[in-house]
Every structure is written in C-alpha cells, then in structure tokens.
Structure 1
C-alpha cells in the first residue's frame, strides 16, 4: 500500500549548482517536514505544481536514495494568473479569512481553477494502485477529492483544509460555494485545524447543500464523510536542538548586543491577514503612552515577501513601509530607532536566533488558520513571552500565551507592556507548559494520526 499526496507546493525545490546540474533541496515548511518522511516510508507519488524548471516533469526523491516519485504539474502563465493568483488567492483566500471586500469573483478564474484541479486529479488517478491512500491538501485543490472519487469510487481519500473555514454567511457569498463543498465531500476523511472550523463547515453543508449531519459525519450523495479537527504541529525536537546550538546562540547574542534594548519580535509573511499595520499602530500607541520606554524597547519586524504579483499585496507593502517610516520619524532619538524592519526571507537558523533573542513575540493575525510561528517560538525561546491573537487557530492550544484582540490598539499596547514587565519565573513557567502542549501534538504525530484514521475510515454508504 502506497501513499499519494497532492499539494500546490512541491516538497523539493530545483536549483542549478555551479556546474549547471539540477539539485533538489527540501522546501521549508510544515507540509514537507510532515509528509516527506511518510512518503519515504510508504513509497508512492507526490503531485505538485512544478513552478521552477517546469520542463522537468518527474523526479525520484530524495535523489541520493529515491523512495517516491514527484510528479510535477506544469502550469501555463494564464493558469498561474487565473488559478493561483486569481481564484485561489483573490477568491478563496480572502473569503476564508473574512475579507469579503478583497474578494474578486471572476468566471474565467473559476474555469482555470476547475481545469487545473482536473489535471491534478488525473495525475493521481494515473498513479493510483489498489490499496493506495490519497491525501489532498488545501484550498487550491478543493475540487480534487470529488474528481478522484468519480473515477475511483473505492479509493480511500483524505483532504486537509489548512486555512480557516468561515461562517456560512461569509462562505455563501462565493458564487461556486456548492461546487467547492461537493468537491471536498468526495473525501472520506476531512481535516481542519480547530473545532470552530469543523462546526462552520458542517453548518455550511447543512445550510447550503441541505446535507444531513450526525456527530462528525456529513451525509452526501449516498456517502458519509467524516470531519475532524486535527491541528498540525511542528518538529519540536528539531527546533529545540537548533535553538541551543552554539551557532544560533552566538547569533542571538549578537542581535541583542546590536540593539541593546528589549526586543519585541514579529515574523510574518507580508499578508493582509497578519495584522502588521495594526501591530505597528499599537506599538506607536505604546511609545506614546510609555515615553520612558523610548530607547529601551525595539520592535524588530521581519516581513517575508509574498504574492507580489497581487495588487493588494503591493499596496500592503507600501502601507507597512510608510508606517515604519512615520513611526521611526516620530520617535527616533539619540541613535535609537524604534522599529527595525527586515523585508526578505530568513533562513531557519537565523529565524530561530531571533526567537532566542526576543523578550516578547508578537503573533497577532487578524485571522489565521493556525500559525506555526507561535509554536516555533514556544519551542525555541529562552525566556520570552508570547503575545497571541485570539483569532489565530493556535490560540485554543496555547492558553498560556497573552491573548489579545488585534483590532484593539489599546489591548495590544497593554499586552506589550505586560509581556515586557512579566517576571522571569512566570515567563519560564508559561513556556514550560506551552512546550508540554507542543510535545503532545507534534508534527509527526499529526501525520501518523491522520493517515491511521484514513486507513481505518469506513468509506461505504452514508
């Protein structure tokens, strides 16, 4: 029995070395870390968009000791524009994060989404052998489970939706709401990060499809799909080991010596869901309310470039950089600037060094499916405090964090002061409890649990 994984992003990225040879480097991210070992163990196929070097359609991975095949889907420029930047990220992404005003619903983008989902499904159908488990991932491929089900009625199909599932009133603004629901319900087992997302999904099925639900089941088209909340974890041991390495400790010490202040840290993709402008405005208020902290506290904001071809993301960058300039211009004194702004991707070891250096971590999205940065910080911090938005999916798992409403600058400003003044023994006690939670549901347990449940799932009649 093998495993077939489908995701928009591929697990290994191709680059050419100095000799012009193609090398395959593991992609940074939870999905690769979770599923690459599972595929290496079971064997099978990973199907993904081949963004770079699309002329390479198949490769056996890992290259030094191949255990499974990566099947790369080549997308045309028009498909990237309409399927990825269009429907996936101008329709499904904003609606799932409750940003209805940012949605763009275009029939041409929908058609491209259907066609690309069909190509992913066809690749899975071609790779399938009796007994294989199929695991489809995320909002870019929501139609794939139904497409596979129609061709392979007896296959065991899992699906995981990694972003928030919104309330029914919001989701139903999507003109193709019924198609998306029907597509997902082609799966036997459907995973989401929180009980709230599961409840919203079931309610949407009842209201939009008029489907029957009972317990964790949705009954649709003569079948029963099981819906479960299974929040993804991180590689706790790997992060803890890296965090205490001499190289990372030296880098963390260098960051602290350079700034010579207490450090508030933010690490986010530059995305309008992450609440970066709201965080900057709250820090401005914090400095206004507590002038004694000027020269003694620095906000270090790392913004990782994201979806730069989408207009709203370019506008967000301009907004954020304008705020950084205004706040620095307002409060800078004696060689101290209140905000240090980094706009680039950061390697994992450098990121962990920042976690180690921080006195407080700001994870304050306006809405987030889970947010692994909060978990990474908890695993890596020396003695920092975690400030966490109540609208991050991870909030339910992390009650020891200082939980905030990111829409309230006063609340967020107060939380900054609380975190920076928290006694050391309290910060350490909170971190200890947070790490216990992380170990109870680490990344590999998430993978093993879901695949075990999928293997045992009754996929007969409803």
Structure 2
C-alpha cells in the first residue's frame, strides 16, 4: 500500500475470531474460517505480527481447552488470536438479543421485528465493556485498531472511558437506518454518541453515510458536519470523527481461479445434464428475513403464469443455508418458504419437469462455484443488504461471461454494479418476473458485454482495494478523497418498460 497508515501493528476486533471449533470423532478441532475480510487482512496481520480479538463462537469449551489449538493456529498463521470467552447468558443478551433482535432488523428497515427488551441493552453494554478491557490488555501504543460491525458499536466509548488514547477505526458492514426508523430505538442517543467516539467510521454506501449524518445533525445539538464524500468530518464538543464510504468486496482472482479448475468444469457438465440442459436460474441465501426469499418465490410464480412458453425450459435453483432455526421467527420463515415452493411446484410441475429445485443445506465450495459458473441467471433480491457478496461472487466465477445478474435495488452492491445488471424492486413481483424473462431472452452480445463490465468493476474494486482505500483515506494527504460510488436512484422510466 503506497500510503499505508504508519503503525506498529494491526489489531482487528470483531464479534467472532476467524476460526471455527467443532468436535470430530471425539476430538476438538479448530479450522480457519473463510471470507473476504479474513483473506484480505491475513497478509497484513502476518507481516505486522498482528492481533485478532474476538469470541470463539461457542460457549461449550473453556479457554484452557482451546488454548493448545489457538497456539497451533498462531504458529501457522503468523499472528495472534485473543479469545474473549462469553457465557450463555451474555450470548443470549448481547448477540442473540441486542445485536440480532434489535440492531439487525432495525438497520434493515424492519423495525416491526425488533424486540426492544431493556435487558438486552444491559448485556450489550456489559459485553462491549468486556471486549474493551481485553483490548486494553493486549494493545500497545501506535497500534492500528480496526473494529468490525454492529456488535461492537459501544467499544470506542468503553475504551476511552478506560483511558485508551490511540486512534480507533470502525466499519459498519450492515446498512445504517434512515432517521424515521432509527428514532424508534430507545438507545438512539447512546448509539450515536458511541459511534462518534470512533476517530474514523466507514460505511458500505453513500446512502448509509447520509442516513447516519442525517441522524447526527437532527438529534445531536452540538454536532457540526463539514466536508463531503470520504472527507466528511463530524465534530461535537468532545469528539472529531472522519466519515467515509468503502464498499466491501471479494477476492476476485481467487474466485476466478477456483471457477477455472477442471473439477468445476466437470461438475458444471453434470449439473446441466441433470437438468436436461435447461436454462438455470440460481439463488443462494442464508435463511433470513432480509433476503426477500418469499417475495422472490412469488415473482417466480408470476413468471411461470405470464410466460408459459418457458414451462419445461428453465429450472430455478433455490439454495437456503440454515440459520437460527431455533428462533421462532426464522422457523416460521422456513415454513413459509417450504409452503411456497410446494405450492408453486404442485401447480406447475409436469412429467419430467419440476420448476423449483429447493435445497436447505450449505453447499460445498465445489458445488457453490459450479452453480455460479453454470447458471444462466443469478437472482439476488434482498429487501435490504449492506453489500451482498453473492452478486460479486457470481460474476467472478462466471468465467464464460454468459450469465446475467438480476439484482435488488436495495442491495448495497447495486451502487457499484447498477450499469451492468438488471435492477429490480424485490417488492414488485410483476417487474421481477419481467426481469427474469428479459435475462433469459437476452442476446449473447448483450450478455457478454454486461458480464465483462461486471467482472471488470469487481476485479478493479476487489477486497484488497477495499482495505487499501480505508487505509489511504485515514492516512491520506489533506484534500485527497478516495472515489465513492454514487447511490442508486431509480429512474422514472425503467429499461424494462422499453
């Protein structure tokens, strides 16, 4: 990085450590977790002998039990892991409760699903305090501390109350709610003041940044906001915070390389043969109400009703990765998805053809990349998403450059990818059905041109570009502003109307 922040060591703090722990044949096994953030930060952590602080993701083991596995990981990875052990009560209140029953639905504009239980706030405060005390133990002067996501909004304030003097950077991976929704949270002032205790805040999109600034200006009487784009500064009587927009991405080259393997090509051939070489429309989602799966299924029903010429000629592959099914709302969502798939298949199935192939389980890496490469269309239609990396992974793995991306306007990635995909309102089943039809009917030249542009955009703005842009914006010369993708604003006349 040409303009890297001058620092002794990178210290990453997140809810979860970059590992998974499980029992296998009676033995406790530690595996490295996957993901773009981990991939991008590992070289920096290794080069600086850095530290990653977080919860191991389980309450089943003691720190002493996992210590040998942590030590082995550290020797191989070249950086230190600092586990923060949480009790079941803390996980219930801080993680399941405040983080995922309040912040998650609220920041995704689904405030009616929030459970504003006061006990959750107490646990959220207590666990952020627990993280702060551990960070104070392991950090040194001139460390670069980078705190990740909504679980740790209070961390900077807790650290500064303990006397921490170094700069603190925060990145919010999920959206930030607009003012009229943010107002509904009882702890709105506490959260805004806590966020402004950070020295630098990064958002996924300009819309999230604008929503945050609107809340600050409206609710905090001593706040003044100056500048624009990634040179925005918010000042209060005792804080000064630089604010910017940095859309996260994927390791484009890694995905492309995986898609180009012989075993992936072989799997693609098997997939197409199993579907009798019909057109393939692919969707992959974690089980969550923000992903818009029921709305998508209703759009598929509408497509099958409006375009009967595609009966027997297309298959919709819907993969749902299980998540939190022990929680009533998620279990009910799964039941709704099961019912809709059953209804649609029952109505339209003919001899030798079932329109929707539904899988409720994770895919292996080989299966995932093969579906991405083999699919003619990828439907990514969340009702709200901070970024949505499936849209980028699909393009990176679509190495023949023949696929079409149908993307929700409310996915953060729409800001970057809007000119090369088909954008839809996930609540509009008629337009979604028409977009599916347009994607399937699209000529080869247009498909290739769109996919080439998608792939170039994602290749140029990959996960390493994301890390570098954050570091540059923090350590940049005065007056420099990293380019920001403008937010997507729907046009009055949609291309689908032409």
Query: Bigger shift: 403-412 or 152-161?
Result: 152-161
Deviation of the 1:84 alpha carbon: 1.1
Q: Name the CA distance, whole Å, in 1 between partners of 2:125 and 2:165.
A: 23
More displaced 10-residue stretch of structure 1: 83-92 or 446-455: 446-455
Residue-by-residue CA offset, 1:350-407 (whole Å, 9 max, x unaligned): 1110001111000001111000000001111131100000010000100210001110
**Offset at residue 64 of structure 1 (A):** 4.8
1:404 matched to 2:424: yes
Shift of 1:153: 4.5
RMSD value over aligned CA atoms?
A: 1.7
Return the offset for 1:300: 0.2
Say if 1:244 and 1:48 are closer, same or farther in 2 by CA, change over 3 A. same
Whether the 8 Å contact between 1:91 and 1:104 is mirrored in structure 2 is yes
In the TM superposition, 1:277-426 aligns within 5 A as 277-381=294-398, 382=400, 383-398=402-417, 399-426=419-446
Say if 2:250 is the partner of 1:234.
Answer: yes
Q: Given the alignment, which residue of 172, 177, 186 partners 2:197?
A: 186
- SS at the partner of 1:70? strand
33-42 vs 297-306, greater mean Cα deviation: 33-42
Q: Secondary structure at the match of 1:204?
A: helix
1:430 aligns with 2:445: no
| Aligned-partner SS, 2:34 | coil
In structure 1, what is the equivalent of residue 263 of structure 2?
A: 247
Structure 2 residue aligned with 1:6, among 9, 13, 24?
13
Return the alpha-carbon distance in structure 2 between the equivalents of residues 323 and 112 of structure 1: 38
Q: Which runs of 5+ in 2 are unaligned?
A: 1-7, 479-498
In the alignment, does 2:50 pair up with 1:44?
A: yes
Q: Quick check: 406-415 or 80-89, which moved more?
A: 80-89
The verdict on how the C-alpha distance between 1:277 and 1:19 changes in structure 2, with shifts beyond 3 A counting, is closer
SS at match of 2:16: coil
Match of 1:72 in 2: 83
Number of positions where the alignment pairs a residue of Structure 1 with one of Structure 2: 457
- Evaluate the alpha carbon distance shift between residue 224 and residue 9 of structure 1 in structure 2; reply closer, same or farther with a 3 A threshold: same
Residue pair 1:90, 1:104 contacting (<8 A) in 2 also: yes
Partner of 1:100: 111
Q: CA deviation at 1:451?
A: 3.0
SS of 2:300's equivalent in the other structure is: helix
C-alpha deviation, 1:253, in angstroms:
1.4
Range with greater deviation from structure 2 (6-15 or 434-443): 6-15
Partner in structure 2 of residue 119 of structure 1: 130
Using the alignment, how far apart are the partners of 2:426 and 2:44 within structure 1?
37
1:35 aligned to 2:41? Answer: yes
Question: Which residue number corresponds to residue 203 of structure 1?
Answer: 214
Could you tell which deviates more after superposition, 317-326 or 447-456?
447-456
| Post-superposition CA distance 1:313-364 (Å, at most 9, x none) | 1110000001011111110001211100011111222111000111100000
Q: 1:147: Cα distance to partner?
A: 1.3
Indicate the SS of the match to 1:7: strand
TM-score normalized by the length of structure 2: 0.89
Kept after mapping to 2: 8 A contact 1:85/1:310: no
Residue 92 of structure 2 is matched in structure 1 by 81
Deviates more, 1:394-403 or 1:62-71: 62-71
The residue that corresponds to 2:152 in the other structure is 141
1:132 paired with 2:148, answer no
User: If the length of structure 1 is used for normalisation, what is the TM-score?
Assistant: 0.95
Secondary structure of the residue that 1:393 maps to in structure 2? coil
What is the rounded CA distance, in whole Å, between the counterparts of 1:392 and 1:284 in structure 2?
A: 22
How far apart in 2 are the matches of 1:43 and 1:149?
A: 25
Cα distance, 1:194 vs structure 2: 0.5
| 1:152 positional shift | 4.1
After superposition, the C-alpha distances for 1:34-56 in whole angstroms (9 at most, x for unaligned) are 22222112222211112235313
Specify the SS of the correspondent of 2:15: coil
Any conservation in 1 of the 2:385–2:412 contact (CA below 8 Å)? Answer: yes
Residues 119-157 of structure 1 deviation map (CA, whole Å, 9 limit, x = unaligned): 111111111101101011101111011112333443121
- C-alpha distance in structure 2 between counterparts of 1:427 and 1:209, whole Å: 49
Contact 2:21-2:56 within 8 A present in 1 as well:
no
State whether residues 19 and 56 of structure 2, in contact with CA within 8 Å, keep that contact through their aligned partners in structure 1: no
Contact 1:61 1:70 (C-alpha < 8 Å) held by counterparts: no
